[in-house]
Structure 1
Amino acid sequence: MSTTIADHGGYAWVSSVDGELSNGEGACNNDRVWVQPPGTPSVGDAYLRAYLLTGESVHFQAATDVAKALIEGQLASGGWNYFIEFDPELRAKIPYRVGVRSKVGKMAHTPEPGGWEIWRQRKFKNNTTVLDDNTTSAAVSFLLNLQAAMEVSNQPASSTLSGTIDVALESTRLAQFPIGAWCHNYDRMPVQQPSVSHYPIIDASYPEDWSRTWTKKYAGCYLLNDSITQDMIGMMLLAWKTTGDDRYRDCAIRGGEFLLRAQMPEPQPAWAQQYDRHMHPVWDRKFEPPAIAGHESQTVLETLMDLYEATQDARFLKPIEPAIAYLKSCLRPDGGMPRYTELKTNKPLYFNLKYEMTNDDSEMPDHYGFVGESRLDSIELRYRRLRDGTTEKAAKISANRIAEILAAQHADGGWREPGFVRDPEGRKVTPKEGVIQSATFVKNMGLLCDYLESETGSSTP
C-alpha cells in the first residue's frame, strides 16, 4: 500500500486503488496529504506496530516515510494543520519549518495576554497549529513512538526527528493555559504560557443566564469538544513515558486538574464542550451550545482513568462515580446518550433543520451526532477494576476472524471496499474497483497485531 496510494510518504482518509484520487475531510491530490486521523500518523502507527512485532523492514520503511512527510509538514508555530501541502507553489505561501518559509520571525511573537484572545484573531492563519480532532497530538504521538521504536530496535538516531519532536513539545507545552486546558488552535510559536491574570485558575460554574441562540462569539478558550484537551493529556503522558522528562508529566497532571475543575457543580456533575476564561460553558458553532455534553463527558471519564493509571493519583478517580450516576440519569428511553443536556433543567437539547434549538428530536441535521452511544457500562467496569485493583483478561481474537481479514487483503497490502472518493474539485467519484479506507487499514492492522501478540506472547513497547 505504501507504494500505491502514499503521496510523499503520507496518506489521506480515502484513496482510489491507484492513488490518483484521495480525500480527507476535504479533497486531496497527489501533492496533499491529510494529518487529521485516520490519516497520515494513524497509518504510520499501524506500520510501526507491525514492524515492532515482525521486524520486517518494509513496515519500518513505510513508517519512516510517514515521519518524513510529517517533518515536512510541521509549521513554524510548532504543530500541524489538518493537511500538508507538497505542491511547491502552495508551500511557498505556508511557513513550514522545512523548505520555503514566510515571515516566521514576525509570526513568533504573541502579545499579552496571549492565549485565545490573541490566537482567535487568526492573523497568521497559514501558520495555524490545529489541536482539534487529534491532529497535532496524533502527529507528535506517532513521532514519539517512532523515536522510541528506533531506540529499542537499535536503529540509528535521527537529529531531524528529535528536533521536530522537541519543537512540537515546546510549542504545545507553552500553548497550555495556566488552568491546564488547551484551545482549538494557535497561529504562532508560543514563547511563554498565556497570562494567568487574564486566564485565572478557577472552578467551573453556571452562568447567570445564557443565550438560546448562537452568539457567534467563539469565546470558548478551554476545549473538551472533539477531545482536544483529552488528546493533549494523552500526548503529554506519552511524551513523559518515552522521554522521561517530568515537564510533560506536569503538563498532563495540570490537564487532569483542569478536568477536575471543569466538572460542573451539582446537580449536573459532568462536563461541557467548551468554557470561557470565567469557566462558564459557552457557545462554539451554531449547533454547539453551552450545555452538559454527553459524549465529551464520557471521554473525560476515560482520560481521568488514563491519568490515574499513569500517575496513581487518586484525585483522578474521585469525580467518576457521581458523574456516571448522573449521566445514567440523562440516557434516553432508547438507551442513547444525548449530546446535549440543558444547564440546570436537565432537558435534552437538539437542533432542527433550521438550526433552532429544541427539545424535539424529530428533525435533526444528519451531519452531527446529536445522539450518541452510551459507553457508561464499560466505563463503570473499568472504574471498578481500577478502584478495586483487579485486572481484566484481554478478549481473544478468533482465528476465523483473522482468516477473513487476510483473505480480504489485496496484494498491495490494503483492503478494497465499496465507496466513493472525491476528486480535486470535491466531486464524488465511485470507482468500480472500490476504494481504500485508511480507517479500515488501521483497524485491520491493529487486529492482526493483537492476534500476533496473543499467539506469540510478544508485545510492543
Structure 2
Amino acid sequence: MLLTAAAVLPGNSSPAQTASADEATDRELIAAVKAALQKAVTFMSDTVAVRGGYVYQVSLDLKKRRGEGDATATEIWVQPPGTPAVGEALLDAFAATKDPLHLQAAMNAAEALLFGQLESGGWTDRIDFDPAGKNTDRYRDGRGKAKGRNYSTLDDDKSQSAIRFLIRLDQLLNFENTRIHEAVSFALESLLKAQFANGGFPQGWQQPVEPGTIVNASFPDYDWKTEGRFKNYWDFETLNDGLTGTVARTLQLAHTTYADNRYRQALEQLGDFLIRAQLPEPQPAWAQQYNHQLQPIWARRFEPPAVAGFESEDAIQTLMFIAENTGDPKYLQPIPAALAWIRRSLLPDGRLARFYELRTNRPLYFIRESYELTYDDSQLPTHYSFRANTRSEKLQKRLEQLQSGPLTPPPGRSSDLRSLRRDAAEILQELDSQGRWISDGKGRIIRDVSDRDNAGLWIESAVFSKRVSRLAEFLQAAENRR
C-alpha cells in the first residue's frame, strides 16, 4: 500500500485523536516503507550492481553506465556517490529493519571494494573486474595487473569513503569477519603511513611517505606565476576538494570504533598541520596545494598558487571538528582571523572566489580557451567551480557556540517525525513498480515515463542512497516513538 503525502498529515482534531491517527498511520507507513526498501534494494543489487558494486548512473535500459566518466560493463566506482555511499545507505536500511537482504547487499558491496583494494592499501576512483581492462590496477588479491597503477588516493573522498563504510560494517559484524577486518586494518595502517611529520597528507601515495620538515606556511619568494610548478604535485601536502575534512572524519571514526590512540594522535597532528599551514597576514587563510616548505604551489593548470576560498572554509570546519572531538581549544585559535579574511574577501554578489592572488587578494580566474590567468571572470572554463556560496555565517555561529560552551560535537541531526512521515510518503510515491527511482541524471525524479523513450532517463546511486537513508531515518524515529 502506497500512502499519499496528504494521508500522513492529519487535519483539525484533538491531540488525543491526532496521536491515535499518527500511530495508525505510522503502522501502515512502516509496513509500506519496509516493503519499498525490499523492492528498491532488490532491484539495485540484482539488476544494477556489478559484482556488488555501483557506478554513479545507469541508463534506464541498462546499456550505459557512468561514473565521473563513462564506465565499462566491468567497472564500478569508489568515488562518492559510488559503491561506498551505496553501501552506507544499505547499512542504514539494515540498522532500521534488521532485514538480512540489506546486510547481504552491503556485504556484496564490501566484497567489491575488497577486490579493488590496492597493494598500497587504499583505493583509486574505480575498480575494473576485467584482468585485461584499461583501468585495472595492482590489486592486493593479485587479480589486477602486475604493471597497473598502485596509487591510493585521498582526492574526492575516495579511499576515505571506502574505509568509513568498511569500518561500519566491521563493527556491525563484531570484528569477526576476518577478511573485512584485515582489509580495513591494512587500509588504516597505510593511511597512517601516508601522513607527513607536519601532520598533513598528500593527495595520494604508492608507499609510505618521507617524513619531511616541520615549518610554518609562508608566501613564496619567487615569481609564482611562472615558477613553482611540480609535475608530481600530488605527492605534496594538499587541502584540495575537502581532503582534510574527510580524512579527519575517517580518523575519528577509526578511533571511536577501535579505541586505538594512534588514530587520535593522527587527528591531532592533522589539526596541528592546519595551524601551521595557515598563511600569515594579510591573508590568514589556506592554500589548496603546498610544497614541503608549506608555500603555495601550482597543481593543475587551472589551480594556481593562491589563497583558496573553498579549502579555507573546509580547513575552518575541520579545525572545529578536531576541537570538538579532542576538547583542545588550540584548534579554534586560527579561526577568527580566517573568518575575518573571508568576510572582507567576498565578491560583490556575496560569493567567495575559489582563488585569491597571493598578497594582493584579488580574485583570480582563467580564460576558457587559453587557460591564461586573469582578473576577468567573463570567460571562465565551465568544468570547474571558480566561485561558490560562502558558509562563513554558519561557521561563525558554530565558532561562537564552541567558544561559549563545552568543546563537544554538536548533537546529531534530528528531524521532526511529522516531516519524516511526509518525506517517506513522498519517496514511496516516487518509487515505480519495479523498485526504481527514475531521474533525469541530475537528481530530479521523473515520475511519468510512459510518454518518453529511455533517452535521458537514469537510475542514480545518489538518488537511491539519499532516499534509502531517509526512509531508514523515518523507520528509526517511528519505532522509537512506539
* Residue 179 of structure 2 corresponds to residue 179 of structure 1: no
Write out per-residue CA displacement over residues 227-263 of structure 1, whole angstroms, 9 at most, x where no aligned residue. Answer: 2233222211111111111111111111111011111
Residue deviations 1:1-25 (CA, integer Å, cap 9, x gap): 1111100100001112353321101
Aligned counterpart in structure 2 of residue 374 of structure 1, from 385, 390, 409: 390
Size of the alignment, in residue pairs? 420
Query: Equivalent residue for 2:299?
Result: 284
Is the alpha carbon distance of 1:92 and 1:136 closer, same or farther for their aligned partners in structure 2, counting shifts above 3 Å? closer
CA contact (8 A) 2:201 2:238 kept: yes
Are the counterparts in 2 of residues 337 and 374 from structure 1 also a CA contact under 8 Å? Answer: yes
Deviation of 1:214 (Å): 7.6
1:385 to 396, 401, 412: 401
Equivalent residue for 1:400? Answer: 422
CA positional deviation for 1:102: 5.5
* Structure-to-structure mapping, 1:335-374, within 5 angstroms: 335-353=350-368, 354-374=370-390
Aligned residue identity for 1:229:
T
Deviations 1:327-365 (A, max 9, x none): 111111111110011111111111111211111111111
Partner of residue 57, structure 1: 100
* Counterparts of 1:382 and 1:12, CA distance in 2: 35
Deviation at residue 439 of structure 1 after TM alignment: 1.6
RMSD in angstroms over aligned alpha carbons?
Answer: 2.3
- The aligned counterpart of 1:168 is 187
Amino acid at match of 1:451: F
Letter in 1 for 2:341: Y
The question of whether the paired residues in 1 share the 8 Å contact of 2:439 and 2:457 is answered with yes
User: CA contact under 8 A between 2:287 and 2:305: conserved in structure 1?
Assistant: yes
State the Cα distance separating 1:48 from its structure 2 match. 0.6
The answer (yes or no) to whether the contact 1:301–1:320 under 8 Å persists in 2 is: yes
Amino acid at match of 1:149: L
Distance between the aligned counterparts of 1:97 and 1:394, measured in 2? 41
Distance in structure 2 (CA, Å) of the matches to 1:31 and 1:325: 49
Check conservation: 2:215, 2:294, Cα contact below 8 A: yes
Q: Tell me the distance in 1 between the aligned counterparts of 2:79 and 2:341.
A: 33
CA contact (8 A) 1:213 1:357 kept: no
User: Structure 2 residue aligned with 1:209, among 222, 225, 248?
Assistant: 222
Query: What residue in structure 2 maps to residue 25 of structure 1?
Result: 68
Structure 2: which 5+ runs fail to align?
Answer: 1-43, 444-452
| Bigger mean CA offset, 241-250 vs 390-399 | 390-399
Moved more, 12-21 or 344-353: 12-21
Residue identity in the other structure for 1:147 = D
Larger Rg belongs to: 2
**Structure 2 counterpart of 1:114:** none
Distance (Å, rounded) in 1 between the aligned partners of 2:381 and 2:387? 11
Find the partner of 2:156 among 125, 129, 133.
133
Q: Percent identity?
A: 38
Give the secondary-structure state (helix, strand or coil) at the position aligned to 1:223: coil
Letter in structure 1 aligned against 2:441: G
Aligned position for 1:116:
none
**Secondary structure of 1:321 counterpart:** helix
- Residue 34 of structure 2 corresponds to none
Q: Report how far residue 448 of structure 1 moved.
A: 2.5
Q: 1:434 to 1:317 in 2, by over 3 A?
A: same
CA distance in 1, matches of 2:422, 2:66: 32
Superposed displacement of residue 167, structure 1:
1.1
Please show how residues 278-357 of structure 1 align to structure 2 within 5 Å.
278-353=293-368, 354-357=370-373
Q: Deviations over 1:122-170 (max 9, x none)?
A: xx6611111111101111111001111222xxxx821000110111111
Shift of 1:432: 3.7
Gaps of 5+ in 1: 104-123, 422-429
**Letter of the aligned partner of 2:177 in structure 1?**
S
Contact 1:270–1:323, Cα closer than 8 Å, also in 2: yes
1:248-267 maps to which residues of 2 (within 5 A)?
A: 248-267=263-282
What's the TM-score, normalizing by structure 1? 0.86
Q: How does 1:28-39 map to 2 (within 5 A)?
A: 28-39=71-82
Provide TM-score, normalisation by structure 2: 0.82
Separation of aligned partners in 1, 2:476 and 2:314: 27
SS class of match (2:127): strand
Conservation of the 8 A alpha-carbon contact between 1:213 and 1:356: no
Map 1:62-77 → 2, pairs under 5 A: 62-77=105-120
- For the 8 Å contact 2:167–2:254, the answer to whether it is kept is yes
Give the aligned residue type for 2:270.
Answer: G
Query: CA distance change for structure 1 residues 89 and 265 in 2, over 3 Å: closer, same or farther?
Result: same
What letter corresponds to residue 262 of structure 2 in structure 1?
A: R
**Which residue in 1 is equivalent to 2:56?**
13
* Matches of 2:116 and 2:173, distance apart in 1: 21
Other structure's SS at 1:205 match: coil
User: What residue is the counterpart of 1:426 in the other structure?
Assistant: none
Number of the residue aligned with 1:416: 438
Take 1:224 and 1:244, find their aligned partners in 2: how far apart are those partners? 27
The 3 A distance-change label for structure 1 pair 65 and 91 is: farther
The CA distance in 2 between the partners of 1:261 and 1:186, in whole Å, is 22
2:249 equivalent to 1:234 = yes
Per the alignment, in what secondary structure is the counterpart of residue 365 of structure 2?
strand
Q: CA deviation at 1:176?
A: 0.8
